[in-house]
A and B are shown apart, each in its own frame.
Chain A
Amino acid sequence: MTAMTSAAGPTAVRGSGSRHLAGTWPLLRLALRRDRVVIPVWVGVVALMVVSLPSSLKSVYSTAAERADVAHQMLTNSSLRALYGPVFGDSLGALAAWRIGAYAGVFAGIMSLVVVVRHTRDEEESGRQEMVSAGMVGRRAPLTAALLAALIANAALALLITAGLAGQGSSGALALGLGVAGVGMVFATTAAVVAQLTESARLAKGLTGGLLGAAFALRAAGDSAVSDGSSVLTWLSPVGWLENLRAFAHERWWVLLLFAAAVTIQGAIAYELAGRRDVGMSFLPTRPGPAAGRLGTAGALAWRLQRGGVLGWSLGFLAAGAAFGGVTKGATDLVGDNERTREIIERMGGQSGITDAFLATMAGMLGMVAALYVVQSVLRLHGEETSQRAEPVLAGAVGRLRWAAGHLLIAFGGAVLIMLLGGLGLTAGYGQSPGPILGACLVQLPAIWTIGALAVLLYGVSAQAAPAAWAVAGTALLLGWIGPALDLPAPLLNLSPFAHLPHLPGSEMTWPPVLILTAIATTLITTGLTAFNHRDLTTG
């Protein structure tokens, strides 16, 4: 540090640039210190997901002929292309990149946007930034530190993927690693721009997440139309660039320039905005609210706080359902020659009829994502308590149970609503059999509720323990999403409540697991609320 300062000394004219960045190094260390658990976990899980794929693919498709066969089938089926993208080669590496690439990119994007917003807008919103900026901290230092933290996380991810897949071909491994990290950095810079525009960190994360979802949807739409990734729609999406890098299939290195250009342009915009605006302020103005309010109960307050989230999730589920329903039409094209392929699809959700299996898989996916909704909604209790906003409300004539009930009704009732809307979307997109599809969506509810109920239990026992509910939902998601493809042992897969549900549509409705899971959820909620009613409130 000292050497750098003295070296820069004589050319102090350059100072105006570096003054904006003063304090970046300590801020970066602060960011990494605060994220020392979160970033390694994200990087580790995503890297493991990618790196473990070739060996499990090898156990499924052991011969080159089998692989060529499945690659051909996957390429000809537009639904599967929409889900995973086109297959560009039949090597283990190419199949792994095909199967997981887009998802790894999406996960890297989520990680990056969360990191960037957390260290920029979140800090300003909480008021902490004010104290930090009062020190020797340049106007652009917080943003730089946040982007560097994201860069370090993405670089680590790229390194792990490159090293882990090197056995399949080092240049392919490098391309996939750089591509995944590239998607991450693109959305890190997107988040950096959005964080300048909004005053709320929650909104910044939501908007950037929406853009990420839109990028995935563009790629899916493009890929379902053409089989070589050449659609304009695919080229408009950073997630599409990742597949067009063609890792393990004659890499097109120049595609990396697209990532670099997007990162540079978005970064420049964010820097320009960050240098011009006031700390804590945004470019989107806030409007005044009413001078008098009609809110009169804790339940009404809960709804007021959560209604935006419920609306967002509802629209998202309706759209996702319609998109999934649309690609399901093509699922019947799938030639059932390959036993193992069909087996995977079947294990992922269905037993008879490839369309039913596909629909069941889609309903299951919606269900697992809905578990994230229910956890997020339950954890509003935790957020309200730890931010000291619950204290004055509970100092009013509001019982703890009544206060909690408002939020829980929205969490557990909202799960019914979004699954219903997801089902309606699926029906609309698929164009037939509304009854069975709605049934398939609603049968997910006991498993969704069970995960939400675990969140209630954790929160009830201790506010500090509550965020562990994210790990529960994340584990269920990973087990359900990639567990079957990884050939994990049944006892492990059965840890997820989703594993016990009847695979509708297509198979018999079985009531016992549904009823048992509902009973488990009820017990967990009751226990959690009883514990909550007897514990101390977290105080400041």
Chain B
Amino acid sequence: MTKAITVSGLHKSFGGTHALDGLDLDVETGEVHGFLGPNGAGKSTTIRVLLGLLRADSGTARLLGQDPWADAVELHRRIAYVPGDVTLWRNLSGGEVIDLYGRLRGGLDPARRADLVRRFELDPTKKGRTYSKGNRQKVALVAAFASDVDLLILDEPTSGLDPLMEEVFQTCVEEERDRGRTILLSSHILSEVEELCDRVSIIRKGVTVETGSLADLRHLTRTSVTAELAGPPGGLAALPGVHHLDVQGARVRLQVESDKLNAVLRSLTESGVRSLTSTPPTLEELFLRHYQEDIQAQEQAQEQEQEQTETGTGTKAVPR
């Protein structure tokens, strides 16, 4: 099967700031792909390059087998896009805008449009200026889900939606997947991504730092284990991959790298387990780990600077 999106080594800078610094992204046909990263990581820039609105400085990008810049118009017939902040024309009604966007793409399924308007509880007769943020978002979502397209590009599409509507949105995404459509979903709502996405890519500072299925990614991270034992534990600290070990009498809390879990469990059972909880890493932890690396690196750099100014030596190495 061909890939819906392939991006490799994408660079884009605005003046002196490098928004994209060699970004890679692969989205398989028919999957829901989560696109994650902190604010300013380059998610929207990537999406705009994919839509042919920005021109990449270097690197390659292919969408549905075509070039997003050169074949923009042809491609857009098969793509629906929902921005994170929808602006509408103040004097056009929501219904008019839905139909306009539909016609500017491959066309609109009237039955599905009516169904979506009902499910999203949208009043299509209101004028653009009178919609709230969530309702503006619904206009764009209805237009996208009712369009006859192969690929949906959703850039933080649910900002402003209430929890009920968030659920409608998730059902819609699942329906689209069942119909064989590909979805690129950029989002900050990690529970949403966890619920919907087959695979995710995490980017930071314009570079992809992690990509794969959630199961793959979990494998790379730590599981939290809390156990109450019959006797005091022995030798846990010596095991590889164990972090944040906290022993209070017979009560043990620790984090262990997921692929080293076996050895820990063996050691625990030796002491006799009374109760055990093991929590797999959430996407949030996964995400925060990458985010915190950033913060730690910054803090370290600052410490180093301070030390240099304090001691004046500047050669002192900071232990990691």
Q: Which residues of A contact B (CB under 8 A)?
A: 125, 199-200, 286-298, 301, 304-305, 387-389, 391-399, 534-537, 539-540
Pairs A-B, 6 closest by C-beta atoms: A289-B93, A293-B96, A396-B104, A296-B103, A395-B81, A288-B125
Q: Which residues of A contact B88 (CB under 8 A)?
A: 389
Could you tell me if A392 and B140 are in contact, using CB atoms closer than 8 angstroms? yes
Report the separation of the CA atoms of residues A422 and B55 in the bound assembly, to the nearest whole angstrom. Answer: 44
Q: Which residues of A contact B20 (CB under 8 A)?
A: none
Also in contact, A297 and B103, with CB within 8 A (given A289-B95, A289-B96, A398-B76)? yes
Could you tell me if B127 and A399 are in contact, using CB atoms closer than 8 angstroms? no
Could you tell me if B129 and A290 are in contact, using CB atoms closer than 8 angstroms? no
Q: Which residues of B contact A305 (CB under 8 A)?
A: 89
Report the separation of the CA atoms of residues A290 and B98 in the bound assembly, to the nearest whole angstrom. Answer: 11
Q: Whole-angstrom distance from the CB of A79 to the nearest CB of chain B?
A: 40
Could you tell me if A398 and B99 are in contact, using CB atoms closer than 8 angstroms? no
Could you tell me if B51 and A293 are in contact, using CB atoms closer than 8 angstroms? no
Could you tell me if A395 and B106 are in contact, using CB atoms closer than 8 angstroms? no
Report the separation of the CA atoms of residues A387 and B83 in the bound assembly, to the nearest whole angstrom. Answer: 13
Q: Whole-angstrom distance from the CB of B30 to the nearest CB of chain A?
A: 21
Could you tell me if A393 and B53 are in contact, using CB atoms closer than 8 angstroms? no
Q: Does B297 contact A (CB under 8 A)?
A: no
Q: Which residue of A lies closest to B125 (CB)?
A: A288
Q: Which residues of A contact B95 (CB under 8 A)?
A: 289-293
Pick 21 A–B contacts, CB within 8 A, sort by A. A199-B129, A289-B95, A289-B96, A289-B126, A289-B127, A290-B93, A296-B104, A389-B87, A392-B81, A392-B101, A394-B51, A395-B51, A396-B101, A397-B74, A397-B76, A397-B77, A397-B104, A397-B105, A398-B73, A539-B45, A539-B53
Q: Which residues of B contact A537 (CB under 8 A)?
A: 48, 53-54
**Given A387-B87, A394-B72, list of 16 further CB < 8 A pairs?**
A286-B127, A286-B130, A289-B95, A289-B126, A289-B127, A291-B95, A293-B93, A293-B95, A293-B99, A294-B96, A295-B92, A295-B99, A391-B48, A391-B53, A392-B83, A396-B104
Report the separation of the CA atoms of residues A393 and B54 in the bound assembly, to the nearest whole angstrom. Answer: 14
Mark contacts of B66-77 with chain A using CB atoms, 8 A cut-off: 1 yes-contact digit, 0 otherwise. Answer: 000000111011
Q: Does B212 contact A (CB under 8 A)?
A: no
Q: Does B86 contact A (CB under 8 A)?
A: yes
Complex partner residue of B93 from A291, A391, A396, A399, CB under 8 angstroms: A291
Q: Which residue of A lies closest to B48 (CB)?
A: A539
Could you tell me if B90 and A293 are in contact, using CB atoms closer than 8 angstroms? no
Q: Does B26 contact A (CB under 8 A)?
A: no
Q: Which residues of B contact A294 (CB under 8 A)?
A: 96, 99
Complex partner residue of A399 from B45, B72, B87, B101, CB under 8 angstroms: B72
Q: Which residues of B contact A387 (CB under 8 A)?
A: 87
Could you tell me if B126 and A539 are in contact, using CB atoms closer than 8 angstroms? no
Q: Does B230 contact A (CB under 8 A)?
A: no
Report the separation of the CA atoms of residues A393 and B124 in the bound assembly, to the nearest whole angstrom. Answer: 19
Q: Whole-angstrom distance from the CB of A40 to the nearest CB of chain B?
A: 28
Q: Does B79 contact A (CB under 8 A)?
A: yes
Q: Does B44 contact A (CB under 8 A)?
A: yes
Also in contact, A292 and B100, with CB within 8 A (given A200-B90, A395-B81, A536-B55)? no
Q: Which residues of B contact A535 (CB under 8 A)?
A: 55
Report the separation of the CA atoms of residues A288 and B124 in the bound assembly, to the nearest whole angstrom. Answer: 9
Q: Is the interface of B mostly helix, strand, loop or mixed?
A: mixed
Q: Which residues of A contact B103 (CB under 8 A)?
A: 295-297
Q: Does B97 contact A (CB under 8 A)?
A: yes
A-B pairs under 8 A by CB, number: 118
Q: Which residues of B contact A289 (CB under 8 A)?
A: 91-93, 95-96, 125-127
Also in contact, A288 and B93, with CB within 8 A (given A387-B87, A388-B85, A395-B53)? yes
- Number of interface residues, chain B, beta carbon within 8 A: 44
Q: Whole-angstrom distance from the CB of A484 to the nearest CB of chain B?
A: 42
Q: Which residues of A contact B101 (CB under 8 A)?
A: 392-393, 396
Could you tell me if B96 and A397 are in contact, using CB atoms closer than 8 angstroms? no
Complex partner residue of B55 from A290, A295, A395, A534, CB under 8 angstroms: A534
Q: Which residues of A contact B99 (CB under 8 A)?
A: 292-296
Q: Whole-angstrom distance from the CB of A15 to the nearest CB of chain B?
A: 34
Q: Whole-angstrom distance from the CB of B94 to the nearest CB of chain A?
A: 8
Could you tell me if B85 and A540 are in contact, using CB atoms closer than 8 angstroms? yes
Could you tell me if A392 and B96 are in contact, using CB atoms closer than 8 angstroms? no
Complex partner residue of B89 from A389, A391, A394, CB under 8 angstroms: A389
Report the separation of the CA atoms of residues A220 and B140 in the bound assembly, to the nearest whole angstrom. Answer: 51
Q: Whole-angstrom distance from the CB of A199 to the nearest CB of chain B?
A: 6
Q: Whole-angstrom distance from the CB of A225 to the nearest CB of chain B?
A: 41
Complex partner residue of B96 from A292, A389, A540, CB under 8 angstroms: A292
Q: Whole-angstrom distance from the CB of A424 to the nearest CB of chain B?
A: 29
Q: Which residues of A contact B91 (CB under 8 A)?
A: 200, 289
Q: Which residues of B contact A296 (CB under 8 A)?
A: 99-100, 103-104
Report the separation of the CA atoms of residues A399 and B72 in the bound assembly, to the nearest whole angstrom. Answer: 7
Could you tell me if B125 and A290 are in contact, using CB atoms closer than 8 angstroms? yes
Q: Which residue of A lies closest to B73 (CB)?
A: A399
Could you tell me if A295 and B73 are in contact, using CB atoms closer than 8 angstroms? no
Q: Which residue of A lies closest to B104 (CB)?
A: A396
Report the separation of the CA atoms of residues A290 and B77 in the bound assembly, to the nearest whole angstrom. Answer: 25
Q: Which residues of A contact B126 (CB under 8 A)?
A: 288-289
Q: Which residue of B lies closest to A393 (CB)?
A: B104
Also in contact, A293 and B92, with CB within 8 A (given A388-B83, A391-B53, A395-B76)? yes
Could you tell me if B93 and A298 are in contact, using CB atoms closer than 8 angstroms? no
Q: Which residues of B contact A389 (CB under 8 A)?
A: 87-89
Report the separation of the CA atoms of residues A290 and B125 in the bound assembly, to the nearest whole angstrom. Answer: 5
Could you tell me if B97 and A293 are in contact, using CB atoms closer than 8 angstroms? yes
Q: Which residue of A lies closest to B51 (CB)?
A: A395
Q: Which residues of B contact A397 (CB under 8 A)?
A: 73-74, 76-77, 104-106
Q: Whole-angstrom distance from the CB of A254 to the nearest CB of chain B?
A: 45
Q: Which residues of B contact A287 (CB under 8 A)?
A: 127
Q: Which residue of A lies closest to B72 (CB)?
A: A399
Report the separation of the CA atoms of residues A397 and B71 in the bound assembly, to the nearest whole angstrom. Answer: 10
Q: Which residues of B contact A540 (CB under 8 A)?
A: 85
Report the separation of the CA atoms of residues A396 and B149 in the bound assembly, to the nearest whole angstrom. Answer: 11
Q: Which residue of A lies closest to B110 (CB)?
A: A292
Report the separation of the CA atoms of residues A536 and B85 in the bound assembly, to the nearest whole angstrom. Answer: 19
Q: Which residues of A contact B124 (CB under 8 A)?
A: 291-292
Report the separation of the CA atoms of residues A450 and B97 in the bound assembly, to the nearest whole angstrom. Answer: 34
Q: Which residues of A contact B81 (CB under 8 A)?
A: 392, 395
Report the separation of the CA atoms of residues A388 and B127 in the bound assembly, to the nearest whole angstrom. Answer: 18
